[in-house]
């Protein structure tokens, strides 16, 4: 059976049904036998649908499997035309506040003519040709402050000079060094031990892991007011992208919940993924706009906000249904969504007219109605049996598309609603890279700090700030 192609399985089942229908029309089959055979055909169609789905390989093209779990594609190694020309958002050209540029110009003189040997020392040059060399020289800046201690000749009391407010102890590190260390650990995901060695090679002094972690915690605490501000901005936005992904903390699975709108990204950590976490974070329950998500059921329990579904997720699921069962309704819905998204993206208003949207709804419902007839029937649940009847992925997707029609097509009606939830997924991507690099966090406190700091850095990056500049601004309280 495993060697039979899916089309041959479908064709054989259709042939058997056609032959049995001919026999039934010729009155050669008793009513009892007809009822029994038709029930068996319903069961066979359901088994066939589930079997073909099990035999269809999943990839990032037809499911939510990440590209890293795809089979190796050797064609990408030889195709020089692949890749992207996108460079992302242009960053601010300002240098970090602790940067210093030393520029020198030297002259390569011409004293004699290379052709005739004539003396050219007194001849003015007609023009110059410049070549430039740029290098980095790490400079350790050490600032000592010696406080005077004096004894009053009148009362013999001792008075000591006042140190600057940023010098609390015998030794402290400047914001430039702190920003560099935080950037290494949080943004570049360098291990603490390697960050220690790199900093020691630059300043000639080892900084303990505890001190590096204290840098991170100081920034984490200083960003608490910033986090409250962005929550208020998010709650007043028209559309908000939401998503969640797993993160290992202390050998247990936690979830990072991301909320983003405009140039703001906010990530929060919680032990749970569903409604308990959403209630604890308390952004969606108070939100009155539209949330874009991937049809996670916990979000649909909130009726105070509108809902839009990620078209990219739907297209991948429809691709899988087409690959597995070759259903026409799935191919037609996929074609309709792609055509509509392209049409909307080319519009200046980024939405369809009322008449066009009405036609879209009509086409959508016609395809779904034909799809209901194309899917095999679900047999009734026997009396006394607990649980839900087994359904194929095609059944489940069809039911979702029918139940949430408004959320699926909202991108064509509302100009603020995007077709996909890619914004939230992009903001979560580096958290997965962090987990791949470091495995997990050993302490939940530092996991919370990572979420807040990375939220701030991604937000500032969307605004065009370099991470080093953004961190120094936060440490100086300039946010």
pLDDT for res 273: 93
- Does residue 196 contact residue 190 with C-beta atoms inside 8 Å? no
Give the pLDDT band (50/70/90) at residue 242.
Answer: very high
CA distances from 364 to 317, 352, 367 (A): 17, 15, 5
Give the pLDDT band (50/70/90) at residue 63.
Answer: low
Give the pLDDT band (50/70/90) at residue 352.
Answer: very high
Q: Which of 37-46, 279-288, 426-435 has the lowest mean pLDDT?
A: 37-46
* Sequence-ordered list of residues with C-beta below 8 angstroms from that of 37, at least 6 positions apart, any chain: 20, 29
Q: Does the pLDDT at position 265 exceed 90? A: yes
Using one digit for the tens of pLDDT, what is the confidence trace for 396-414?
Answer: 999 999 999 999 999 999 9
Using one digit for the tens of pLDDT, what is the confidence trace for 158-169?
Answer: 988 898 888 888
pTM of this prediction? 0.78
Report domain extents, the chain: 6-52, 237-376+391-462
Q: Pick the residue with more confidence: 50 or 304?
A: 304
Give the pLDDT band (50/70/90) at residue 233.
Answer: very high
Beta strands across the sheet bearing 264-270: 264-270, 252-261, 239-249, 290-293, 306-309
pLDDT for res 25: 80
pLDDT for res 19: 79
Q: Does the pLDDT at position 54 exceed 70? A: no
pLDDT for res 315: 94
The average confidence (pLDDT) of the chain is: 85
The 10 Å Cβ neighbour count of residue 254 is 21
Using one digit for the tens of pLDDT, what is the confidence trace for 296-341?
Answer: 999 999 999 999 999 999 999 999 999 888 899 999 999 999 999 9
Give the pLDDT band (50/70/90) at residue 344.
Answer: very high
DSSP 8-state code for residue 186: I
Q: Does the pLDDT at position 378 exceed 90? A: no
- Give ∠ CA 60-62-63 in degrees, rounded to 5: 65
pLDDT for res 77: 40
- Give ∠ CA 365-366-367 in degrees, rounded to 5: 90
- Cα separation, 428 vs 400, in Å, equals 25
Q: Does the pLDDT at position 90 exceed 90? A: no
The single residue listed with the structure tokens 């195709």 is 79
pLDDT for res 84: 52
Q: What is the mean pLDDT of residues 412-418?
A: 94
pLDDT for res 1: 39
Q: Does the pLDDT at position 261 exceed 50? A: yes
Which residue blocks in 328-443 are alpha helix, DSSP H?
328-346, 354-374, 393-403, 405-413, 422-438
pLDDT for res 80: 43
Q: Does the pLDDT at position 206 exceed 70? A: yes
Helices and strands in the chain: count of H runs, count of E runs: 17, 7
Q: Does the pLDDT at position 258 exceed 70? A: yes
Q: What is the mean pLDDT of residues 363-368?
A: 96
What percent of the chain stands above pLDDT 90? Answer: 51
Nearest partner of 54 among 393, 379, 328, judged by Cα: 393
- Does residue 347 contact residue 331 with C-beta atoms inside 8 Å? no
The 10 Å Cβ neighbour count of residue 64 is 12
What percent of the chain stands above pLDDT 70? Answer: 84
Q: What is the mean pLDDT of residues 213-242?
A: 95
- Cα separation, 360 vs 348, in Å, equals 19
Give the pLDDT band (50/70/90) at residue 135.
Answer: confident
Do the bridges between strand 252-261 and strand 264-270 make them parallel or antiparallel, or are there none, so unpaired?
antiparallel
- Does residue 254 contact residue 447 with C-beta atoms inside 8 Å? yes
The helix or strand, by DSSP H or E, that contains position 475, with its residue range, turns out to be: helix 467-475
DSSP 277-309: HHHHHTSGGG--SEEEES--HHHHT--SSEEEE
């Amino acid at each position: 059976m495993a060697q039979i192609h899916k089309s041959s399985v479908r064709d054989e089942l259709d042939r058997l049904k056609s032959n049995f229908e001919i026999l039934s029309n010729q009155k050669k089959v008793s009513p009892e036998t007809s009822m029994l055979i038709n029930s068996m055909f319903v069961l066979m169609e359901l088994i066939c649908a589930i079997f073909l789905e099990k035999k269809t390989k999943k990839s990032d093209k037809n499911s939510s499997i990440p590209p890293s779990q795809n089979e190796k594609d050797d064609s990408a190694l030889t195709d020089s035309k692949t890749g992207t020309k996108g460079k992302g958002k242009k960053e601010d050209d300002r240098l970090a506040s602790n940067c210093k540029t030393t520029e020198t110009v030297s002259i390569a003189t011409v004293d004699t003519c290379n052709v005739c040997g004539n003396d050219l020392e007194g001849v003015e040059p007609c023009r110059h040709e410049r070549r430039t060399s740029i290098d980095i020289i790490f400079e350790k800046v050490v600032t000592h402050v010696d406080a005077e201690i004096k004894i009053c000749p009148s009362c013999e009391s001792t008075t000591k000079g006042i140190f600057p407010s940023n010098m609390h102890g015998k030794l402290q590190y400047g914001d430039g060094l702190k920003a560099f260390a935080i950037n290494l650990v949080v943004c570049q995901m360098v291990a603490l031990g390697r960050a220690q060695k790199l900093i020691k090679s630059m300043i000639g002094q080892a900084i303990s892991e505890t001190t590096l972690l204290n840098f991170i915690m100081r920034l984490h605490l200083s960003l608490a007011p910033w986090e409250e501000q962005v929550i208020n901005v998010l709650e007043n936005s028209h559309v908000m992208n939401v998503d969640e992904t797993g993160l290992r903390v202390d050998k247990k699975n936690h979830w990072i919940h991301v909320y983003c709108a405009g140039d703001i990204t906010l990530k929060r950590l919680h032990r749970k993924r569903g409604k308990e976490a959403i209630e604890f974070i308390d952004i969606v329950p108070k939100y009155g706009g539209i949330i874009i998500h991937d049809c996670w059921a916990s979000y649909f329990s909130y009726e105070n906000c509108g809902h839009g579904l990620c078209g990219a997720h739907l297209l991948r699921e429809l691709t899988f249904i087409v690959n597995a069962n070759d259903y026409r309704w799935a191919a037609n819905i996929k074609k309709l969504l792609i055509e509509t998204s392209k049409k909307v993206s080319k519009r200046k208003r980024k939405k369809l007219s009322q008449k066009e949207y009405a036609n879209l709804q009509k086409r959508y419902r016609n395809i779904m109605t034909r799809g209901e007839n194309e899917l095999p029937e679900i047999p009734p649940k026997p009396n006394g049996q607990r649980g839900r009847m087994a359904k194929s992925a095609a059944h489940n997707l069809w039911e979702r598309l029918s139940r949430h029609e408004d959320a699926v097509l909202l991108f064509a009606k509302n100009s603020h609603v995007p077709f996909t939830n890619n914004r939230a997924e992009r903001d979560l991507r580096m958290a997965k890279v962090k987990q791949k690099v470091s495995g997990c966090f050993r302490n939940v406190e530092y996991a919370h700090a990572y979420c807040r700091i990375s939220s701030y850095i991604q937000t500032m990056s969307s605004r065009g700030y370099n991470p080093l500049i953004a961190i120094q601004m936060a440490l100086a309280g300039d946010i």
